[in-house]
């Protein structure tokens, strides 16, 4: 029924537009086409100028209205470079947009058709063509060069003292792994993946894997002011590790290991103060559509001091110990043996006494 009503409304709109067009045509015949054309031309020129002014005002108001929703300042040193690049890009493109649109709408008013003016045909100008092709090209080259520099920085080899954290995507959550006391990640094998007792497919034949720590709830802890390298992969489909507060993101691709590194500059506690939000957390989002549960794929990052990190990591058990807890001692057998010994001694005494 709603589809029928919608179709009827669309037909009605077209009929109204047609009737307005016909009425305008009849008005032109009655009043004279030239007079109507002049009046309409002047009206359209004025409306275009008004549209430009109102449009710029609307952009300003939208910016002010949405400003509270913007992310706080970058929480990583490398993110500051991205923010600088973004600001430069916006200033350049914003200035070009304003100037070109102002000239466009001004031309519509300044050079509207009049009886005392004839149109001038201007085919081309080689100097102008070279000018407005070369300047944008050089500007874009500079912006691309800055972007490539920032990209190469975060994807290049991480500093030697970086904290290494593995982030694995799976439908529909993140799994975090830290190396154990040996500082080395154990080997993994995708054939060994089992949600029941081996969520990342650790190879227990490798001694280095037995002290690895796995956080299944997607909460990564990192140290403020210390470089951290995320080693990223996926165990099913393509995901994307999004770190909006750090201005970072990287694809998580099954069968391929990707990496990025950065240096956090604000702890979670400091960011709570800056934002005035006591419940603030750094998020790990999935920025790639990965299935019906994509909307719920969310992890968190806790940026803390080195002392707090050492305390937290020291409280974590290795994944191997969690999945293979030591067997409890059999107390009942020992108790039986302890009660059996005195009984045997009494029997011996009785035998000797009878003899």
Place of tokens 């500051």: 80
Determine the Cα–Cα distance for residues 148 and 156; give it in Å rounded to an integer: 12
Q: Answer whether residue 310 is part of any domain.
A: yes
For residue 8, the number of C-alpha atoms closer than 13 Å in the C-beta half-sphere is: 5
Q: Answer whether residue 167 is part of any domain.
A: yes
Separation of first and last alpha carbons in the chain: 110
pLDDT in tens, 76-126: 999 999 999 999 999 999 999 999 999 988 888 888 777 777 777 777 888
Dihedral sign computed on CA atoms, order 69, 73, 78, 82: positive
Contact present, 287 and 298 (Cβ < 8 Å):
no
- 16 φ/ψ angles, rounded to the nearest 5 degrees: -60, -45
Q: Answer whether residue 45 is part of any domain.
A: no
Determine whether 73 is exposed, middle or buried from the number of CB atoms within 10 Å of its CB (0-12, 13-18, 19+).
middle
pLDDT of residue 16: 86
Contact present, 77 and 263 (Cβ < 8 Å):
yes
- Which tokens in the block code for residue 47? 């409306």
**Angle at the Cα of 151 (from 150 to 154), degrees rounded to 5?**
90
pLDDT of residue 74: 93
Contact present, 305 and 223 (Cβ < 8 Å):
yes
Q: Answer whether residue 174 is part of any domain.
A: yes
pLDDT of residue 110: 83
pLDDT of residue 292: 93
Q: Which residue segment(s) compose the domain that 312 sits in?
A: 163-323
pLDDT of residue 258: 95
Total of domains in the chain? 1
- Which tokens in the block code for residue 230? 């995320």
pLDDT of residue 330: 64
Determine the Cα–Cα distance for residues 151 and 350; give it in Å rounded to an integer: 90
**DSSP-assigned letter for residue 211:** G
Dihedral sign computed on CA atoms, order 233, 234, 240, 242: negative
Q: Answer whether residue 150 is part of any domain.
A: no
pLDDT in tens, 322-335: 988 877 666 555 54
Q: Answer whether residue 121 is part of any domain.
A: no
189 to 56, 241, 268: CA distances (angstroms): 57, 22, 34
Report the CATH number that the domain containing residue 276 is assigned in CATH: 2.60.40.420
Q: Answer whether residue 210 is part of any domain.
A: yes
pTM of the model: 0.74
Residues of the chain with pLDDT under 50: 335, 338, 340-341, 343-346, 348-355
pLDDT in tens, 262-285: 999 999 999 999 999 999 999 999
pLDDT of residue 316: 93
Q: Answer whether residue 276 is part of any domain.
A: yes
């Amino acid at each position: 029924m709603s589809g029928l009503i919608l179709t009827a409304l669309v037909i009605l709109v077209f009929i109204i537009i047609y009737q307005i067009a016909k009425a305008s045509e009849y008005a032109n015949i009655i009043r004279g086409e030239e007079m109507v054309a002049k009046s309409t031309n002047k009206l359209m020129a004025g409306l275009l100028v008004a549209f430009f002014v109102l449009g710029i005002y609307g952009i300003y108001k939208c910016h002010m209205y949405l400003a509270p929703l913007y992310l706080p300042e970058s929480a990583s040193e490398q993110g500051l470079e991205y923010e600088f690049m973004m600001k430069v890009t916006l200033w350049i493109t914003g200035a070009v947009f304003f100037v070109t649109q102002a000239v466009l709408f001004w031309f519509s008013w300044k050079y509207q058709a009049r009886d005392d003016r004839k149109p001038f045909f201007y085919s081309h100008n080689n100097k102008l063509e070279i000018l407005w092709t070369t300047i944008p090209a050089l500007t874009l080259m500079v912006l691309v060069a800055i972007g490539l520099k920032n990209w190469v920085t975060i994807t290049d080899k991480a500093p030697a003292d970086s904290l290494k954290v593995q982030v694995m995507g799976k439908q529909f959550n993140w799994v975090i792994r830290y190396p154990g006391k040996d500082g080395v990640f154990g080997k993994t094998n995708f054939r060994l993946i089992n949600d029941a007792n081996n969520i990342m497919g650790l190879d227990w034949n490798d001694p280095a894997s037995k002290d690895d720590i796995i956080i299944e709830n997607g909460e990564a802890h990192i140290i403020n002011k210390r470089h951290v390298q995320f080693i990223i992969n996926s165990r099913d489909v393509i995901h994307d590790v999004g770190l909006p507060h750090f201005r970072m993101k990287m694809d998580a691709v099954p069968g391929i290991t990707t990496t990025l590194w950065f240096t956090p500059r604000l702890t979670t506690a400091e960011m709570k103060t800056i934002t005035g939000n006591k419940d603030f957390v750094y998020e790990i989002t999935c920025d790639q559509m990965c299935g019906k549960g994509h909307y719920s794929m969310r992890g968190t990052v806790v940026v803390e001091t080195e002392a707090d990190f050492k305390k937290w990591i020291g409280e974590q058990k290795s994944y191997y110990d969690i999945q293979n807890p030591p067997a409890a001692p059999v107390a009942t057998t020992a108790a039986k043996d302890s009660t059996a010994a005195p009984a045997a001694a009494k029997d011996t005494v009785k035998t000797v006494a009878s003899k």
